[in-house]
Amino acid sequence: MNQSDYSYSSLPNDIALKIASSLEVPDLSSLGCCSRVWREICGSDCLWESLVKERWPLLYEAVKDPNFKDWRGFYVKQHEEKKGQADSVINLVEQCSQSDSLKVIDYLHAIRSLKTMQFGFRDVQMLLLKQKLNVLLNLIGLHYCLNILQVQAFCIAEALRSGKIVDRQVCVKWRQPRRWVYGFRIRDGYHSRCVYLEDLVTGEDDGEVLTVLERGATHEFLRVQVFVVNSPKQSPV
């Protein structure tokens, strides 16, 4: 028996399961590589069933069966499918964006695609709220979680911090059509708002940016477009 097997043998089974269940999937997989015994405990169906239930609750209810085995294999298969679907959204956004900007019609199409593919919060966090991706994709994931999934704001804020994208910034520009005021026709109004991703979650922008993006190009808001802003967030003096 090697040292890692011996170390495990001193732990009660329920304690070992408790330790394993507190880990993120990458860490759980790494722990399973430590020894034969840990590989067995980290591959336990009860662990992976709970992971499937947490990440895809609706899908879990559809396939739940007391005789079902290999929840780990099911999780890996679903993750690869979601990863492929996320890649299709990423490619769509990259194809539609020019000079680091995106038209609102393409922006809303990407959000509808996530809804059609039944992305959960963990899917978005793992696949879209990442530092290596364009901030426009971060914004799409944030908007989807906040308005479609209605995830609590503090959970999204924590995901932004974990992904190290909390200080990223976007700018939304739109035009409001002419209107009549006291018998006079006021010419079109051009508006621009720059905001940090963190402020969209905390409501520091009064919800204006997401409201404009949510409504899209209508009779109220015209030529809506979102841009990348590269300036870092300034720390308070």
- Residue 28 within a domain: yes
Angle at 83 between CA 40 and CA 42, to 5 degrees: 10
Report the pLDDT averaged over residues 148-163. 94
Domain hosting residue 20, numbered range: 3-74
Residue 160 confidence (pLDDT) above 90 = yes
CATH of the domain at 32: 1.20.1280.50
Of 51, 74, 97, the residue that ends a domain is 74
d(CA 80, CA 87): 10
pLDDT at position 25 is 85
Residues 35 and 90 in one domain: no
Assess whether 62 and 125 both reside in one domain.
no
Check pLDDT > 70 for residue 184. no
Residue 4 pLDDT grade (very low, low, confident, very high; cuts 50, 70, 90): very low
Q: Is residue 153 part of a domain?
A: yes
- Cα(19)–Cα(141) distance, rounded to whole angstroms? 30
| Nearest Cα to Cα of residue 72 among 108, 35, 44, 98 | 44
**Do 31 and 140 sit in the same domain of this protein?**
no
Domain boundary among 74, 98, 117: 74
Is residue 235 a part of any domain in this protein? no
Question: Has residue 80 been placed in a domain?
Answer: no
Mean pLDDT of the 70-93 span = 93
Amino acid code (one letter) for 2: N
Model confidence over 211-236: pLDDT tens digits?
A: 889 888 776 677 889 999 974 443 33
Based on the fold, state whether residues 69 and 91 are members of the same structural domain.
no
For residue range 97-136, list pLDDT tens digits in order. 878 999 999 999 999 999 999 899 999 999 999 999 999 9
Q: Both 51 and 115 in a single domain?
A: no
The mean pLDDT value for 47-69 works out to 85
Residues 39 and 127 in one domain: no
Task: Give the model's pLDDT for residue 116.
Answer: 92
The answer to whether residue 27 sits within a structural domain is: yes
Q: Does residue 49 belong to any structural domain of this protein? A: yes
Query: In the chain, which ranges are continuous DSSP H helix?
Result: 3-9, 13-21, 25-32, 36-42, 45-55, 57-63, 71-96, 104-116, 121-127, 135-143, 153-162, 197-202, 208-215
Paired residues of 228 in beta bridges: 170
Residues 24 and 63 in one domain: yes
The mean pLDDT of the chain is 84
Under the banding of pLDDT at 50, 70 and 90, the label for residue 71 is very high
Q: How far apart are CA 129 and CA 119, in angstroms?
A: 13
Question: Amino acid identity of 14?
Answer: D
Encode pLDDT of 21-35 as tens digits.
Answer: 888 888 888 888 888
Domain-embedded: residue 98: yes
Structural domain total, the chain: 2
Shared-domain flag, residues 62 and 124: no
Indicate if 94 and 206 belong to the same structural domain.
Answer: yes
| 101: enclosing H helix or E strand | strand 101-103
Work out the pLDDT band at 1, boundaries 50, 70, 90. Answer: very low
pLDDT value of position 175: 83
Which of 74, 96, 120 is the last residue in one of the domains?
74
Residue 191 has pLDDT above 90, yes or no: no
Whether residue 209 contacts residue 195, with contact meaning beta carbons closer than 8 Å, is answered with yes
User: Mean pLDDT highest for which of 12-21, 33-42, 113-122?
Assistant: 113-122
Residue 212, by phi and psi: left (phi above 0), alpha (psi -120 to 50) or beta? alpha
